[in-house]
Amino acid sequence: MSTTYRAIDWNRQKRLYDRTLGGVLLLGLGTFMGISVWVSPNITIETLLLRGSAVSALLLLHVLLCIGPLARLDARFLPLLYNRRHLGVTLFLLALLHGTFATVQFHALGDENPLVSIFTAYGRDYRVIADGRVQLSHFPFEPFGIAALVVFFLMAATSHDFWLRNLGASFWKALHLGVYLAYGSVLVHVALGALQSERGAVYPALLAVGFAVVAGVHLAAARKERRFDHAVPRAERDGFEQTCPVDAVAGNRGKVVLVGGQRVALFRHRDRIFATSNVCRHQGGPIGEGRIVDGCITCPWHGWNYQPEDGCSPPPFQEVLETYDTRIQDGRVWVRRTANRLEHRCPGSAVASS
């Protein structure tokens, strides 16, 4: 959290994250280049860089896409999520390196502007059906790479919280969901490009396994979420809805419950139960999976803080969560279905000591 603009709010964990990322990338690129030169001694340095950046970017994209759902399935993946935008910016730089090398090597120094040549060199091959036959294998692959690069650029350029704040959370989130569009474009780019030149079953199989892993972790996370959202509605009384037993909310920990079909975060702090919206004002993180740290609700994604009593971030921060009135009856927590007005101070419900 920061009240002033800083390009990167460096801290020890961030430095560690970036150093690790850099080290793994260098190890991967070094491995690729070393083995490439070994199996193909005549390969040019341009081709090495072009292919090395492509393979690194593709692997990084798969890791990046898996982190989100894996963190939903197991909170121990959250340390990878915290600086995920650094992975995104690195991915963009690798893709830019690949795209620049490819454009210069394959389209520059000719009789056409290279940026025009990328789209026009293949002439009639944009026709999927020619001579009465479907001919996908000749369809141009480079425009799909360009499309992915544009999405990666937009995501990298708007990855800073400055843009999140100024574009608005909904628009920002929608823009960054474009990563799935980019992933689709990358798959087509590879399938119509490299896989048409390199024969054999292993490369297509690897691409299929990668897709299966990405799809699999997303489906598993979606299944978990869906099961939660379709829980049987509980009793309602005086505008309050019955939720979990009081003992299910551990001290200084959160718990997500359904109230009126919406997710609400319960927290137990100093033997009182508080309820807030489950959606962090920063990037929509699941507040209820967070903790109370130093007296503040702390989001598990990026550590944004809110006071349990009024949902306000501690001064000088200005973010506010909606709060809900609670009551404890029959050993269970009851939560009012309608949220309080913003910044409404809510004392919480005292938990009777046993």
Partner 1 sequence: MNDDFYIGYRDESPSALARHTRRLVAAITAIAVGLTALVAGLQTPAEPGTFEYGVKRTFAGVLHESPLPMLHSVSPDGSVTNYLLVGSGKHGLPAFARGHDGQRVRFQGSLIQKGAGILVELNDPDSFLVLASSTAAENRPADEAIGHVVLTGELVDTKCYFGVMRPATGKVHRGCAVRCLSGGVPPGLLLRDVTGGAVVVLLSGPNGQPLQFEVGWAARIVRAEGRLTWRGTFPCLEVARLSLAHPEHE
Residues 147 to 206 in contact with partner 1, rule: CB under 8 A: 192-194, 196-200, 202-203, 206
The verdict on 129 binding partner 1 (CB under 8 A) reads: no
Residues 73-92 that bind partner 1 (CB under 8 A): 75-80, 82-83
Residue 329 contacts residue 284 (beta carbons within 8 Å): no
Residues 240-259 that bind partner 1 (CB under 8 A): 251-252
Distance, CA of 60 to CA of 95 (rounded, Å) = 10
CB of 127 to partner 1, least distance (A): 11
Please state, in angstroms and as integers, the Cα–Cα distance from residue 290 to each residue in 48, 114, 273, 346, following that order.
Answer: 45, 50, 15, 19
Listed ranges 119-127, 169-177, 227-235, 331-339: which one lies at the site for partner 1 (CB under 8 A): 119-127
Sequence-ordered strand ranges (E) for the chain: 129-130, 133-134, 236-237, 240-245, 254-259, 262-269, 272-277, 291-293, 296-298, 305-306, 323-324, 326-329, 332-336, 349-350
Distance, CA of 330 to CA of 247 (rounded, Å) = 12
| Helical spans, DSSP H, in 139-247 | 142-157, 161-167, 169-176, 178-192, 194-197, 202-229
Task: Map residue 178 onto helix, strand or coil.
Answer: helix
Which x/- pattern, by CB under 8 A, does the window 299-318 give for partner 1?
-x-xx---------------
Phi, psi values for residue 40, rounded to 5°: -140, 75
CB of 196 to partner 1, least distance (A): 4
Listed ranges 117-125, 154-162, 279-287, 346-354: which one lies at the site for partner 1 (CB under 8 A): 117-125
Q: Rule CB under 8 A: choose which of 6, 19, 22, 110 binds partner 1.
A: 110
Which is closer to partner 1, CB of 9 or CB of 236?
Answer: 9
Tokens 């890791």 — which residue?
63
CB of 76 to partner 1, least distance (A): 5
Listed ranges 241-249, 257-265, 293-301, 337-345: which one lies at the site for partner 1 (CB under 8 A): 293-301
CB of 151 to partner 1, least distance (A): 22
The verdict on 347 binding partner 1 (CB under 8 A) reads: no
Distance, CA of 338 to CA of 320 (rounded, Å) = 16
Listed ranges 48-56, 148-156, 311-319, 326-334: which one lies at the site for partner 1 (CB under 8 A): 48-56
Element (H, E) at 58: helix 45-73
CB of 323 to partner 1, least distance (A): 22
How many residues bind partner 1, per CB under 8 A?
77
Query: In the numeric block, which tokens belong to residue 84?
Result: 């995920």
Listed ranges 26-34, 93-101, 164-172, 260-268: which one lies at the site for partner 1 (CB under 8 A): 26-34
CB of 150 to partner 1, least distance (A): 19
Which is closer to partner 1, CB of 117 or CB of 262?
Answer: 117
What is the distance, to the nearest Å, from the Cα of residue 125 to the centroid of all Cα atoms in its chain? Answer: 36
The candidate with the shortest Cα–Cα distance to 278, out of 250, 301, 295, 294, is 301
Q: Rule CB under 8 A: choose which of 39, 129, 231, 352 binds partner 1.
A: 39
